[in-house]
Amino acid sequence: MAAAGETLTVTNPDSQSPRPVSGNRQALISLSDKKDLAVLGNGLQNLGYKIVSTGGTASALKKCWTFDGRVKTLHPNVHGGILARRDQTHHMEALSKHGIGTFDVVGVNLYPFYDKILNGIENIDIGGPAMIRAAAKVVYLNGNVSILLSYNFINHNRIIVMNQIFSLNLLFRNSLNHKDVLVVVDSEDYPALLEFLKGDKDDQQFRRKLAWKAFQHVASYDSAVSEWLWKQTSEEKFPQSSTVPMLLKSPLRYGENPHQKAAFYVDKSLSEVNAGGIATAIRHHGKLHVMIFLKHTGDPVSAFGGIVAFNIEVDEALAKEIREFRSLTNGETRMFYEIVVAPKYTKKGPEILRGK
């Protein structure tokens, strides 16, 4: 979304009469991915929230036929409604003086950068990350040291362990910022968010989960933009530093050793292009048909327990060759491979490979 645009302001006619500025319940929604937008919008409206929305999201909300309101220009004071600390009297007095309401919920997600990459810098989102970061600004105290995380965390309070972000095991306590703003960036979280808002308990673990997701979302987007700009502006092949966003593909049974936990992650940029991108790249890498064996520690003799990969389709005949291949060491058949990789399989191929 752009830094400035249109907003749709919606008041639920069935909700309670407007309260003072400090008590108004507002939700700011600006979504690239409008999946389940009606679920979120209707849910918030039924809970008595006034919806403030931007551009295309506002248009989509109108089409739901559940909102009625007016369209106006997005004002920078929206950020004031996110950033103001409600435990600070002078903050709330300033909001009241300028007629600014506070936001309890901020729903924002960003379009996948690789989907817009052909248009380059004109499609670098400024407004979306700005709103997420505004809702994510937190001041914590660690002992007597004040630490300002102006772009690296969220509006939840009390205790949080951040060992995965900074590779440190730091404990931050005593939030100086308000605890009343929730940021949601994933449509899968809409039902849980609405249930949370209905309840009376302030679940800090839920806030931490949304905090983590919000910054993963922004960090992933920024890394994609950074990578693209590097390729456009530098003649050097490798940048001095690099951040690679990864998506969890599947948990694994164990790591390098049975007592270690492990999971399989894929490059998010590849997954956004298509799930078979790697296999397709291998298949088109050359005209020759290729098969390779890979094994831990690079065993030069035995392929047993290793990985076998092809750049061609694995059909019934090839699957039988894989299963009945005779070991070079003892001549036995029924070779075991941990993984068989190929760009595609016929229907019979996997059945034979899975057979006992």
Residue 225, pLDDT > 80, answer yes
Total domain count for the chain? 2
Query: Sorting pLDDT into bands at 50, 70 and 90, what band is 64?
Result: low
Predicted confidence at residue 268, as pLDDT, reads: 65
Give dist(CA 74, CA 72) in Å, integer: 6
Greatest mean pLDDT among 4-13, 75-84, 189-198: 189-198
Which among 228, 271, 268 has a CA at the least distance from the CA of 245?
A: 268
Distance CA 192, CA 195 (A): 5
d(CA 135, CA 327): 61
Helix (H, G, I), strand (E, B) or coil at 39: helix
Q: Contact at 8 Å (CB) between 188 and 33?
A: no
pLDDT reading at 265 higher than 50? yes
User: Mean pLDDT throughout 131-153?
Assistant: 43
Any domain includes 258: no
In a domain, 35, yes or no: yes
Tell me, what's the pLDDT at 6? 41
The string of DSSP letters for 40-83 reads HHHHHHHTTPEEEEEHHHHHHHHHTT---EEEEE--THHHHHHH
**261 within domain boundaries:** no
In a domain, 255, yes or no: no
Is residue 214 domain-shared with residue 325, that is, in the same domain? Answer: no
Task: Specify the amino acid at residue 138.
Answer: V
The CB density around residue 221, as the number of other CB atoms within 10 Å, is: 22
Residue 321's domain is classified under what CATH number? 3.40.140.20
CATH number at residue 64: 3.40.50.1380
Same domain, 28 and 101: yes
Q: Among 225, 241, 268, which residue terminates a domain? A: 225
Q: Grade residue 315 by pLDDT with cuts at 50, 70 and 90.
A: very high
- Residue 314's region, left for phi above 0, alpha for psi from -120 to 50, else beta, is beta
Last residue of some domain: 225, 246, 265?
A: 225
Residue 67 has pLDDT above 80, yes or no: no
Indicate whether 190 and 42 sit together in one domain.
Answer: yes
The DSSP bridge partners found for residue 146 are 141
Say if residue 138 is in the same domain as residue 221.
yes
Whether residue 206 sits in one domain with residue 300: no
Residue 1 within any structural domain of the chain: no
**184 or 85: which leads in pLDDT:** 184
Does 63 map to a domain? yes
Average pLDDT, integer, range 328-335:
62
Residue-wise pLDDT for 73-129, tens only, equals: 245 567 778 777 777 788 888 888 878 888 888 888 887 776 666 555 556 777 788
* CA triple 216-221-224, angle to 5 deg: 125
- DSSP assignment, residue 23? G
Q: Within a 10 A sphere around the Cβ of 142, how many other Cβ atoms?
A: 12
Amino acid at 95: L
At residue 160, the pLDDT reads 29
Domain termination residue (choose one: 192, 225, 258): 225
Q: Is 91 exposed, middle or buried (0-12, 13-18, 19+ CB in 10 A)?
A: middle
DSSP code string of 251-295: EES-SSSTTS-EEEEEEHHHHHH-TTHHHHHHHTS-SS--EEEE-
Check whether residue 158 and residue 287 sit in a common domain.
no
Residue 281 in domain: yes
| pLDDT level of residue 8 (50, 70, 90 thresholds) | very low
- Regarding whether 65 and 184 lie in a shared domain, the answer is yes
Mean pLDDT of the chain: 68
Burial of 320 (0-12, 13-18, 19+ CB in 10 A): middle
| Same domain, yes or no: 104 and 178 | yes
- Hey, what amino acid is at 126? I
Tokens for 42, please give them: 């209707």
Domain extent for 118? 6-225
Question: pTM here?
Answer: 0.56
- For residues 61 and 67, is the Cβ–Cβ distance under 8 A? yes
User: Does residue 256 sit within a domain?
Assistant: no
